[in-house]
Every structure is written in C-alpha cells, then in structure tokens.
Amino acid sequence: MEGTTGARKRQRIASAATAYIPDDVIRDILLRLPSRSVLRFRAVCKAWLRIASDPKFALEHHRRQPSLPLVSFLRGGAVDGKGVDAVDFCVEALDLRTDDFRSVVRFTDTNERCGRFGIHGSCDGLLLLSFDDRLYVCNPATHQWTRLPTPLNSSRFAGFYRHDHTGEYRALFYRGSWPGSDYYILVADSRKGRGIGLPSEKDVYKFKEAPSGPPALHRGSLHWPPQQWENHYILVFNTVTEVFRGLLPPPVIRKHMSLLEMENNLTIFSCGEDVTMVELWLLQDYENQKWICKHRIELPAMKVSTYRFKEPWHVFFMSEEGIVLVNPQQKLLHYDINGDLRESFRCDGCHLKITLYTLKESLIRHRFFEMQNNVGDGEDEPPPFFWGL
C-alpha cells in the first residue's frame, strides 16, 4: 500500500512540475529523444502519455530519427545455470552524430545456437531476423514481433520492404533449384507465399543468379549492389508492379561497392582492395541514370592499407556523418568526411562486424503485431532477441 501511495505522490509532483510547460514544447522535446527514452517518459504523467501515444507523434518521431548503422558482436565467457558456457549475442546501433551506442538485440545462449541467428533486412524501424530456421519481423523499439511463413527449400533471401499500396511488409526470396528458378514473396501478416516468376527475357541474361549484397529501397524499388556479371548492372525490383529491370552503375567500378539511400538519393560507397581511398557516388539523375562522385576520401594508409576483406558490409560503412571501419584489432574507427579520425572504440567482445543494414527507430503501431498470439502451441513462442534488454 505504501508503494502505491508513493508512486501516486511522485506522479502528482511530476505533474505539478511540468504543468506550466506548454504541450507543444513537451512534444518537441520528446520528438528529439530516442525511442527508449520516449517510452520511459510516457510514465511521468498522463499528459506526457497522451502526447507520446498519439499516432501522429509516432509518425513525426520516426521521420526525425537518424538511420543508424548496426554493429554485431559476441560477448562470452559466462556460465549459465546448467554449467554450460554461454555467450551474449549483441546487436547495437551506432549514432555517428554523438558516437553513442543503442542496444537493439541481445540474447544469451550457447555459441552454436547464437550462430543460427541472422539479420536479413531493415525497413521503417522493423528488422527481419532469423533464428533456428524461423523468420521474424521485429520492432526493436517496442519488442514486438511476428513470424513469417517458412521459406521454401533451397531459397535465398533477396530483400525486405513495405508495399505502399497495401501497407504490407514483405520479404522477397529467390529459389534456384527444383521445381524451378523463380522469385517469391512472403508477407508479415500472412501464412502463405506466392511466386512472381523471373526477370523478363530481355533482362534475364543479365541476372542469371540471385543478387548478392543487401538492397537499398528507393522510389518504391529495391536496388542491389552492382553484380559482377554482365557489366556490373544494378538489379532493380519495382515493389508495386513486381517487375525487374537493370540500372547502369557508376562509371568507375571498384572491388567493393555497396548501395544505400541517403537523403532521398540512391548512393553507392565504394573502395578498392586496400581501403586507402573511399568514394561516395550519387545518382544525380535517376531517369537518365547519371552518377556523380560526391566525396572522395583518403584514409591514413599506414592504419588501414594492410587490411583486406571479402565482405565489405561486415567491416565498412559510410554515410554523410563519416566512415566507420573495423580494424584488425577489433576496433571501430570513426573517420569524418575529411578522412580525419574522430573516435576509436574498442569492442568488449569478439567477432565484431558492421552490417550494411541501418535502423531508423519507430514507435508506429502495426496491426500484424497486435494480432500476434504470443501464447501458442510452441510454434509461436517468443524469439530470444530481446533477452537482457
């Protein structure tokens, strides 16, 4: 009884302290905060709860959030209750404006089971994650989740996106074996998938295999990094018409090229084998497929020239806020847009990786999360992505 009385007293004090602050000022302050802080401050008083629970607030808050690169690593050595060595699998978002980290995903399990985890896509604050051969659409900000149908055998994930006409969140897959090669789609609030065929005959010779590398969603279409066959064309999938086509790459082809959307433009960051120089190419004229080199940055050769890698999205990320690189000592190095070292972070774990996926936090409510039955027959048990958070 005393605990309840104390809580009510603290709430009255908080309400009195904030009563003279106009609602629009409170709203503007909350809009500038990360999702986790907004969720905590909703408990201050009824007025703050009302402001932060407004759907229009959620939309504006999501619009203002930065797109943060995701970093993953393992932190191990712990022993669970059964005496078995366990590790923490951690995914964190790095805010390049403040050089701060935000926890996104974490769970403790054996090293073998942590190896079954994967990040496959990011869209509108939602992540497409896999664990134990199951696919989940999750919102890290609200810890909500739902399952996708089980992919077909011999399938490869291709992309994750929002279908504008229906509002559905869909996952695109490529199946390259019997009973035939084709693309097909799974929907977050459905238990069934459907096939959509292959690119047209005039383009199929350019794209004989599934695209590699994470795609960028721009103008309602998925764009994959330049493919190494047939003149490094960029494969484009229109998510409305569900038609594939090809797009010309930048005039300069580098060993490593990755796509992303930046300030409503399609961009490519690229580098050679030794990572001593990185470039940011911008598709200035989308209709006429004309690229310009917006930034060309030289990095300190003595620090990174000997570091070679096969998968650039695991060790390298670039945006308008600068460049993030993982060096051989498992450090995160943040260079500014001029190539000067701004910050250095030592990882307190192992297997440090940067994914090309970014997270733009969202408090928007989705119907398929509300419909999720979290108590089931074992098929819908909550995934372990948010343990320890």
Q: Which domains does the chain have, with CATH numbers?
A: 2-61 (no CATH), 66-370 (2.120.10.30)
pLDDT tens, N- to C-terminus, the chain (389 residues): 344 555 555 455 455 555 667 888 889 999 999 999 999 888 888 888 899 999 999 999 999 998 899 998 888 755 445 555 677 888 999 998 888 899 999 887 766 676 678 889 999 999 999 888 788 999 999 999 998 888 877 788 889 999 988 888 999 988 876 555 788 899 887 777 788 877 665 554 455 667 777 889 999 999 998 876 667 888 899 999 888 888 899 998 887 788 888 878 899 988 877 667 888 899 999 999 999 998 888 877 545 544 555 554 466 788 878 888 777 677 888 988 888 888 888 887 888 888 878 999 999 999 888 765 544 444 567 888 888 77
Cα–Cα distances in angstroms (integers) from residue 20 to residues 8, 12, 24, 39, 332, in the given order: 20, 14, 12, 22, 44
Asked if 124 and 162 count as a contact pair (C-beta separation under 8 A), the reply is: yes
Cα–Cα distances in angstroms (integers) from residue 346 to residues 91, 95, 242, 349, 358, in the given order: 15, 16, 44, 9, 21
Q: How many CB atoms lie within 10 A of CB 61?
A: 25
pTM of the model: 0.84
Alpha-carbon distance 290 to 296, whole Å? 18
Maximum CA pair distance of the chain? 75
Asked if 213 and 258 count as a contact pair (C-beta separation under 8 A), the reply is: yes
**Residues ≥6 apart with Cβ < 8 Å to 304:** 274, 275, 276, 325, 327, 333
Single-letter code of the amino acid located at 275? V
Which of helix, strand or coil describes residue 104?
strand
Single-letter code of the amino acid located at 306? T
Alpha-carbon distance 152 to 174, whole Å? 9
What beta strand segments (E) does 80-181 contain?
Answer: 85-95, 100-109, 118-123, 126-131, 134-139, 144-147, 155-162, 169-175
Alpha-carbon distance 220 to 242, whole Å? 10
Task: Give rounded-to-5 percent helix, strand, coil for the chain.
Answer: 20, 40, 40
Question: Closest Cα partner for 260 from 235, 286, 297, 223?
Answer: 223
DSSP string of 296-334, one letter each residue: EEE--HHHHTT---S-GGGTEEEETTEEEEE-TTSEEEE
